[in-house]
Chains A and B, each alone.
Chain A
Amino acid sequence: MNAGAILIAVLVAATLAVTLGVALGWAAARIEPNADSLVERIDALLPQTQCGQCRYPGCRPYAAAIASSAAEIDRCPPGGEATVRALAELLDRALRPLDPEFGVPKPAQVAWIDEARCIGCARCLPACPVDAIVGTSRQMHTVITRQCTGCELCLPPCPVDCIELRPAPAVSRRYSQPRAA
């Protein structure tokens, strides 16, 4: 084997390494990952209660914070463990328990207004993140159960504490009663 052949091989390899390195470096700097699509995909995994327990004003802002690594994936009690698992899988991050500082998971719930006690102050209306409360000044208010996410944001503004949270109605009409015989 002669030295010339070895030299050519080394040169070819070195040229390739330098060219590809420069190309990749340029790509990393100039072609940004599509941040919006990542936010969308994270947002799709969040439960959309818009409750703000993660201390962001809604699910999408939290998704944006996760995408930009500003927030951890353990801040969503309504989504529970299932959401943390789905996020960890999507983002290839380490699975971790929910941070209790942001609340603990509860069974699905919906708000219910005791219409006899409601004074029609209309303060809960702007608090609802999904416009699920119907009412107007000096008229009785009521919650559209089907659209209520159970976020609890209507509780603090109510001056007469006439809103309470009740277990959400069953979403499925199927029953898995075991076979009899």
Chain B
Amino acid sequence: MAARPTFPAGLALDAHKQQACGTPIVELPLPPQVVLALDQGTGYSAEPVVTVGEAVAAGTLVAHAGHPYASAVHASLAGIVVAIETREAAVPSGRSVCIVIDGNASNRIDDSVRPVADLAALSPDELVQRLRDAGIAGLGGAGFPTATKLAYARNLGAHTLVLNGAECEPWICCDDALMRSAADDVVLGALILRRAASAERCVIAIEDDKPAAIAAVTSAIERLRDEALTLAVVPAVYPQGAERQLITAVVGVEVPAGGLPADAGVVCQNVATAAAVAHWATRGEPMLSRVVTVTGSGVEHPGNVRAPIGAPLAALIAASGGYRDTPLRLIAGGSMTGRALPSDEVGLTKSMNCIFVATRDDIGSRLEAVEVPCIRCGDCAGVCPAGLLPQQLLRAAHADAHDTLRQLGLSDCIDCGLCDYVCPSQILLADRFRDARRRLQEAAAMAQKAADARERHGLRKRRQQEAATAEQQTFESVRDRARRPDDDSAGDSN
């Protein structure tokens, strides 16, 4: 096979996908309760529009997306709102305000859920707004609102929509399973997204280790016969599915540092997001469920589960046969970029593509790793897909040298974790970089606040001076007027 073009560096990893990928997608029975986090993974929360005690139907809007980085949340279960409170949640901050809904057996569906009849008549702007109202968010792992991304793409004139079906992270195979079972949905969603983004063409990118998905999507494209839609098979190299790396591989352009993909004329969406868009178009259903991989050596029957957003993770694990062995960690995401979860009581979020129940067999080598000093082997620079110098960055991060960190391009780190994966000294480089990025952001925020305070203090001083001058002038004019009659009378008498 001829070498396929891709991004520089990266590394082929053990995929660990066979565990979960053999069986068809399981539908989770409706759980008795859902916990809907208002922060669906971006750090920005939607605002509740229901109150405790209110009855909701499946598909009722329960939280409105005020901020462009928040996504609207809909009830995934018909029932009664029993609590709106801050709880542990499967988001980076670990906590979010959650709306808790106790299900009743009615299974009532909200009146707003009906097929989009006027789909073809909607303008791209209206389409973007409708997707925002439907709470469609990126299912690839970031949970970023699709409408916001599409709006950026339209403003900057993106010409290509890249549909990300690479799914490069070890252990995760929910997109693979979805493409195999619902390729027609993916392709239909791709066309709607392309129109919403006003892009000329759409490329669906799939890694070459997913032959069944490639075959399914190929035949779906053939059935549809749309010339704007093509398939790109990319090599299975981690992190192929990272947005910037995939764009380089598929379109052949590099997204500028500090810029958005739209700056390079590209907008990227996940294949599962496209399938959710198709769901919305054909059934009018807002984003109420997603397919998630439940895998790892600590679960009895690894597989893919379609579950309502907000379903407790324990229910998903139970649907996969429950725990076995001695699970060490419950991880949201795969083995490279996953985050540890606080418990299995948290609700499923739109950004969670994998529940990885890890045992010592899966992650033991990392847990027992002892960090030793850097030996300057340079392996980290060799694999960095962003072309950074992790060694130099580490030194600068230790010294907290902000200018150096900026010059070395810390903000271009995509947090893929390959540098610590290859490090023979077992240094947790990516953790340090994530921490350093936070410190840089904090320093920038503090500098901005100081600049604002300086300006406001300056304005206040000027205002005080002007007031003092005005008072002085008033005093002088009053004094002058008080003296003038004497002068006038003196003049008259003369």
What 0/1 pattern do residues 393 to 432 of B give for CB contact below 8 A with A? 0000000000000000000000001001000000010110
CB of A49 within 8 Å of the partner chain: yes
A46, B457: Cα distance in complex, Å: 14
Q: In angstroms, how far is the closest chain A Cβ from the Cβ of B101?
A: 27
CB of B269 within 8 Å of the partner chain: no
A176 touches B431 (CB 8 A): yes
A178, B445: Cα distance in complex, Å: 23
CB of A69 within 8 Å of the partner chain: no
Within 8 A of A (CB), among B430-484: 430-431, 434-435, 437-438, 441-442, 445-446, 449-454, 456-457, 459-461
Q: Report chain B residues within 8 Å CB of A176.
A: 431, 434-435, 437-438
CB of B340 within 8 Å of the partner chain: yes
Q: In angstroms, how far is the closest chain A Cβ from the Cβ of B371?
A: 12
Interface residues on A, range: 20 to 34
What 0/1 pattern do residues 144 to 175 of A give for CB contact below 8 A with B? 00110100000000000000000000011111
Q: In angstroms, how far is the closest chain B Cβ from the Cβ of A119?
A: 24
Contact of B428 among A132, A172, A174, A178 (CB under 8 A): A178
CB within 8 Å: A-B pair count? 99
A174 touches B456 (CB 8 A): no
Q: Report chain A residues within 8 Å CB of B431.
A: 176, 178-179
Task: Known contacts A172-B445, A174-B441; decide if A179 and B428 are in contact (CB<8 Å).
Answer: yes
CB of B131 within 8 Å of the partner chain: no
The secondary-structure label for the interface of chain B is helix
B453 touches A147 (CB 8 A): yes
Task: Known contacts A48-B457, A130-B460, A131-B460; decide if A180 and B442 are in contact (CB<8 Å).
Answer: no
Q: Report chain B residues within 8 Å CB of A180.
A: 329, 331-333, 338-340, 356, 358, 363
Task: Known contacts A50-B457, A130-B457, A147-B453; decide if A179 and B338 are in contact (CB<8 Å).
Answer: yes
Within 8 A of B (CB), among A41-88: 43, 46-50, 58-60
CB of B378 within 8 Å of the partner chain: no
Task: Report the 5 A-B pairs with minimum CB-CB distance, sorted nearest first.
Answer: A171-B445, A176-B435, A180-B340, A48-B450, A48-B453
The 15 sampled A-B contact pairs (Cβ below 8 Å) are A50-B453, A129-B460, A130-B453, A146-B449, A147-B456, A171-B441, A171-B442, A172-B445, A174-B437, A174-B438, A176-B434, A177-B434, A178-B431, A179-B339, A181-B366
